[in-house]
Amino acid sequence: MATSNQQAIADASSDQRPPMLEKGSYVPWASRFKRYVDVKREHERRVMDSIENGLFKLKEITNLTSSTDASRAKPQTYADLMGDDKLIYEADIDAMNWILLGIPNDIYNFVDACQDAQAMWKRVQRLMQGNDLSL
């Protein structure tokens, strides 16, 4: 008899969690992962753009503190983001989290060190297609 936790996992529909990657099945996993992302409407196409094109680039922003002060540039932070830029940044975070949720524990540490979803995706691809784990 299954425990309630096992039953909850079995009952969860595939649109609530990314597919799990198994050794030797990278190609079907990648296809299922992309379909999973396609049905997530919160970020429309932004998550796949993050995986395919890389991380959203934060900009340098200029602050004019007064009319007599020279302008000062500072790195943009999440708090500075508005509109579409904020949605793109959040999609980057979702893409990284979904990839990490869908990979096995034995490659997690090799992938978690990546700074963006595109690098994670490429690392998973290399690892699962038999290349050296030290990449």
Comparing CA positions, the residue from 26, 28, 39, 34 lying closest to residue 50 is 34
| 30 inside domain | yes
- Helix 46-53 and helix 117-128: axis angle, to 10°? 70
| 12 inside domain | no
pLDDT at 2: 44
Model confidence over 74-127: pLDDT tens digits? 888 888 888 888 988 899 999 999 999 999 998 999 999 999 999 999 999 999
| 8 inside domain | no
Q: Say if CB 26 and CB 129 are below 8 A apart.
A: yes
| 74 inside domain | yes
| 1 inside domain | no
* Whole-angstrom distance, CA of residue 96 vs CA of residue 83: 21
| 11 inside domain | no
Work out the widest C-alpha separation in the chain, in whole angstroms: 75
Query: Confidence band (pLDDT; 50, 70, 90) for 70?
Result: low
| 134 inside domain | no
| 88 inside domain | yes
pLDDT at 71: 64
Helix then strand count (H, E) for the chain reads 6, 2
Nearest 5°: phi and psi at 65?
A: -80, -30
What is the domain extent for residue 48?
21-128
**Tally of structural domains, the chain:** 1
Give me 86's structure tokens.
Answer: 């904020």
